[in-house]
């Protein structure tokens, strides 16, 4: 019997996968049999990750892409088709958060950058990949969002708004593409030990405060989110679409 978690011969694009949650997601999916595309802005870090996956005996290729540029997203998808074939899995992980502080202090430029990179780029990627998935009988899109989209914040308000918008994007795309067996889901991590979230966990007193308010009494590791992403991409999650899977150590229940 084939494992319901197997991703054998599936083609997966993972944005923001040169480090952190994206890297962990790509590594887990490669070990489950997927051919993974490592993508981030800079070529060298992407190739380092792809090489490490190939050194383990799995398939990976590096295709750099700045998600804020539509032409680069188009090139990412085209090069994926050329190297591996049409994508079966899309993981929208890349995101930006250039400012910390309340909405009353944010500039129009910063707000537009956050919404474009964190929401519109995901829609671009979906438009370019979901028709291929439908033509092949189905596929899976996983958007890495955040619990910041589920509650208010004094420090990352605009980022939270963009992550909340991703929930709406996933639900609507799931409804539109469900009849063609293309599933769309979100993962909403809590605080995870990544470079992206360093400002939120590198302060010892702030980390201690967060840990005390988290039922599991610790922050997450990238691999713990990567496995959730891989699950949602796999046949094991074949009846799940339009959902938000929270992985936060219990923060949202406390």
| Among 203, 223, 219, residue whose Cα is nearest residue 211 | 219
| Among 197, 108, 112, residue whose Cα is nearest residue 156 | 197
Describe the crossing of helices 20-31 and 222-233 by its angle, rounded to 10 degrees.
Answer: 50
Helix (H) or strand (E) holding 83, with range, is helix 70-83
Bridge-based pairing state of the strands 60-62 and 35-39? parallel
Strand partners, 156: 101
How far apart CA 5 and CA 12 sit, in angstroms, is 14
Question: Token digits for 84?
Answer: 């591996």
Of 58, 159, 177, 231, the catalytic one is 159
Determine whether 159 is an active site residue.
yes
Would you name the residues annotated as active-site residues? 159
């Amino acid at each position: 019997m084939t494992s319901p978690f197997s991703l054998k011969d599936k083609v997966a694009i993972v944005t923001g996968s040169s480090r952190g949650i994206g890297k962990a997601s790509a590594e887990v999916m490669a070990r489950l049999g997927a051919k993974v595309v490592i993508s981030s802005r800079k070529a060298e870090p992407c190739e380092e990750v792809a090489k490490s996956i190939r050194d383990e005996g799995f398939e990976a290729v590096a295709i750099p892409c700045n998600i804020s540029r539509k032409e680069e997203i188009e090139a990412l998808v085209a090069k994926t088709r050329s190297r591996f074939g049409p994508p079966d899995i899309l993981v929208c992980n890349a995101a930006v958060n250039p400012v910390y502080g309340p909405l009353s202090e944010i500039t129009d430029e910063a707000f537009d950058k956050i919404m474009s990179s964190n929401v519109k780029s995901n829609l671009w990627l979906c438009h370019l990949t979901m028709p291929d998935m439908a033509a092949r009988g189905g596929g899976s899109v996983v958007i890495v969002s955040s619990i910041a989209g589920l509650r208010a914040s004094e420090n990352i308000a605009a980022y939270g708004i963009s992550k909340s918008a991703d929930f709406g994007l996933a639900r609507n795309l799931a409804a539109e593409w469900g009849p063609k067996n293309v599933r769309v889901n979100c993962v909403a991590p809590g605080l995870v030990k990544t470079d992206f979230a360093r400002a939120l966990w590198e302060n010892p007193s702030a980390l201690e405060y967060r840990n005390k308010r988290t039922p599991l009494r610790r922050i997450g590791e990238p691999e713990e989110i990567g496995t959730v992403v891989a699950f949602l991409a796999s046949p094991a999650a074949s009846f799940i679409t339009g959902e938000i899977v929270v992985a936060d150590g219990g923060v949202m229940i406390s």
